[in-house]
Each structure stands twice: as C-alpha cells, then as structure tokens.
Amino acid sequence: MFFLGLMHTAVVGFFLDVLTWIVNLPPEKMDQFGIVFMMVLQMFMTFFVFALIIIGMGLLYYTLSGIQDAGDLWEKIGKIGEQRKIRGLERE
C-alpha cells in the first residue's frame, strides 16, 4: 500500500516537471510520456509487491513443511549430547 501510495506524490510530479524543464517536447508528447512513465512505475510497484507476496508464501511452505515432516525436530534429536561435548563438559 505504501509503495503504491508513494506513486501519487509530489515527488513523482516534481520528477516529471523537472523532465519537462530538461527535455523540450511538445505538450501532447509530454503527456504521453507522463502516461507511459506512470504506467511503467505502476506495474513495477505492482510486480514488486507481488514478488514480496510470493517470497512470503514460499517461506510459509517451509514452515508448513516443517510442521508436517518435523525436519527441524529430527535434526535437533540428532544433535542431542553434541553440545556438551563441544563445551568440554564431558571431560569435566
């Protein structure tokens, strides 16, 4: 929401204004550029947020997989007793 909210801001408008100062294009061409620019920005933001959601769901897969298969638990069971050896407690 914030990413998309940032699009309709004075900053984006200001950027387009600055472009009009630098590039001398007819007004209709400039309008078209504005539409293309906003369109690209809009789609970039949309796909970026979508990518974040995909990442979140990917991570959720591993959590669900962990609950189902208890891989982490099996790994911890395998390590029982190892930590004491590492700390040298066995020698004491």
Phi-psi region of 81 (alpha: psi -120 to 50; beta: other; left: phi over 0): left
User: Can residue 8 be called a binding residue for another protein (CB under 8 A)?
Assistant: yes
Site string for another protein, 10-49 (x = CB under 8 A): xx--x-----------------x--xx-xxx-xxx-xxx-
Q: How far is the CB of 90 from another protein (least distance, A)?
A: 27
Q: How many chain residues are in contact with another protein, going by CB under 8 A?
A: 44
Applying CB under 8 A, among 54, 84, 85, 87 the residue interacting with another protein is: 54
Binding footprint of another protein on the chain (CB under 8 A): 1-2, 4-11, 14, 32, 35-36, 38-40, 42-44, 46-48, 50-64, 66-68, 71-72, 75
